[in-house]
A and B are shown apart, each in its own frame.
Chain A
Amino acid sequence: MKYFDPHIHMLARTTDDYERMAAAGIVGVVEPAFWLGQPRTQAASFIDYFNALIGWESFRASQFGIRHYCTIGINPKEVNNVPMAEEVMKFLPRYCAKDNVVAIGEIGYDDITDAEERFFAEQLLLAKELNLPALVHTPHRDKKTGTERTLSLVKEVGINPELVLIDHLNEVTLPLVLDSGCWRGHSVYPDTKMSETRMVALLQQYGLEKMVVNSAADWGKSDPLKVPKTGQAMLDSGFSEADVERVLFNNPIEYYAQSGRISIEEVLAPMAIDQQMLWEDNSVLRGQTPVVQ
């Protein structure tokens, strides 16, 4: 089986993870821009971060045979530093034009403050203008209200809902999104958010259309193999291999393909690993024999 993880923070993961992911069948990932686990104190910090997502991390993934794409945006937590967020908004459009940027995100609500609403709306508007997908994080807390307000704002801004993926949904919030036209994202986590079993139950109840599953793995206790593990749970529950491929490979790529910068054909195209390559004189190897295919 081939898998695609549409939301994973690889900068926070190790090369061992890349090896295990490739062995489990993951051939491509999307890494959304988010925070560092603590608030940044200056806008310039975002420039280095975005450059790393587009540059070094994409190279690192390629060294293990995985295609790496990213989304660019200022996350809901850090927009509360309004002067900093205003600075970031100035250089955001140029990053949105980069080749492997397939959406604006993650954007949305955290504490549901006025500042969050302002920059969420501004970034949705930017996505609308650039005709780019918008990856929307729903809050960990007060999730139902956050999801309802997200859907209202999507309508208010007037972005095509087909371009919007509402992420981190659960049993309570998924039904709210069903009739909106937006894509439906779910993050399968070891302890919080969503489990493989619960995810399978949602797929059984609500079908496969626009359903997307990710690991959202980051620097916290999380599992970069949750997409293939969900695939196995689907097969164990009687879903066909075609169903698994639709939800865990085709759906997310079709969603991001609206950017015009990714396609199923591209992700499926053979990718030869050459670990002799360097990125700005830097290698992922530390004395090992390079793999060259």
Chain B
Amino acid sequence: MIEAAYARIQSELQSLRNDKGMQWLLSGQDKIKAKQDVVNDLLTWSAGARSTLGQERLNANAEAISVAENRLMPIDQWSIADAGRALLILQAVMSAPEQHALIVRSYFEQGDESEVAIMVRIVNLFYDAESYKFQVREVGRTNSKPLYAALAQYNPYPARFYDDHEFNQLVLKALFIGVGIASIIGLSERANFELSKMCEDYIDERVAAGRSIPPDIWLALEPFASANGLGLIHQHLQHDTPEHRYFAVKALKQQKPLCAERQQWLNTFRKNEKDHRILALLSSN
């Protein structure tokens, strides 16, 4: 399985025609393949990836790679350095399968923030992905938005391995630190009563403190919303901020099929809405 991921990353990197960068990467792969000191060589080459390969987007038009069922690698979100590091990590575990767990754990423990971010993005590819749950949960203790985004957004790991409580905390923390929850994989499938309640409590706190409510919170609140919670979503269809209206519509449309009451809310709302993005959302299935 990881061979397929490896081949795809390599092909994306080769298509960039950065000969100097590829030469550097190849020398790192050769060093790792020699298996003299795999963990140290991996970490040493990985450390230089940003300065050598750069932080530009790898290929925004690339499609996320589905390596196997539930094993997703969204390379469209990656930088070139991310791809280089992922290639080095996969090279290490392919060259030294007997050191697989040591390699992954050492990278989690000794990598810097951007390195840990790429590891947390690809850890779901490994056959023993669940055994790194402790390391992944430790990553989730960060308050760094880029690192938290690597865990929460476009990442199948939490939906696959987190229990309801862990998943709910992941969503709430994303809302808390301002990492958008619309890109959390499995958000609608993993919705539960407790998560809706946590969102309603969070809104109560924000309102009591005179603070704004994150607009995407409606996505997590809606599936098991109380009458009060549903009323809040309905109310935010009239909000001045387009983001609130957009996510309120998106949240209400999560119900399939739509009940008559919601259909009526949305029909009434459509008459006064001018925002093209929201109108497109209303027209979508």
Contacts and interface: CB of A to CB of B under 8 A. Distances in A.
Contacts of A39: 138, 141
Interface of B: 109, 134, 137-138, 141-143, 165-166, 168-169, 172-173, 176, 198, 201-202, 204-205, 208-210
A80 B137 CA distance: 9
Contacts of A254: none
For the complex, would chain B's binding face be called helix, strand, loop or mixed by DSSP majority? Answer: helix
Interface in A163-216: 170-172, 194, 198
Contact of B209 (A38, A80, A170): A170
A109 to B, nearest CB: 11
Contact of B208 (A37, A38, A81, A170): A170
Interface of A: 37-39, 41, 77, 80-81, 110-113, 140-145, 170-172, 194, 198, 220
Nearest to A76: B141
* Residue in B137, B141, B165, B205 with the greatest tally of chain A CB atoms within 10 Å: B141
Contacts of A38: 141-142
B61 to A, nearest CB: 35
Contacts of A77: 141
Contacts of A144: 201, 204-205
A50 B141 CA distance: 22
A38 B142 CA distance: 6
A141 B169 contact: yes
Contacts of B201: 142-145, 172
A111 B143 contact: no
For the complex, would chain A's binding face be called helix, strand, loop or mixed by DSSP majority? Answer: loop
Contact of A112 (B109, B169, B204, B205): B169
Contacts of B141: 38-39, 77, 80, 110
Contacts of B168: 142
Given A198-B209, A198-B210, A141 B202 contact: yes
Given A81-B138, A141-B172, A144-B201, A37 B209 contact: no
Contacts of A170: 205, 208-209
Nearest to B173: A141
Nearest to B108: A41
B208 A172 contact: yes
Contacts of A220: 143
A201 B93 CA distance: 58
Given A38-B142, A80-B138, A112-B165, A140 B209 contact: no
A198 B138 CA distance: 34
A256 B219 CA distance: 44
B83 to A, nearest CB: 25
A140 B176 contact: yes
A142 B210 contact: no
B173 to A, nearest CB: 6
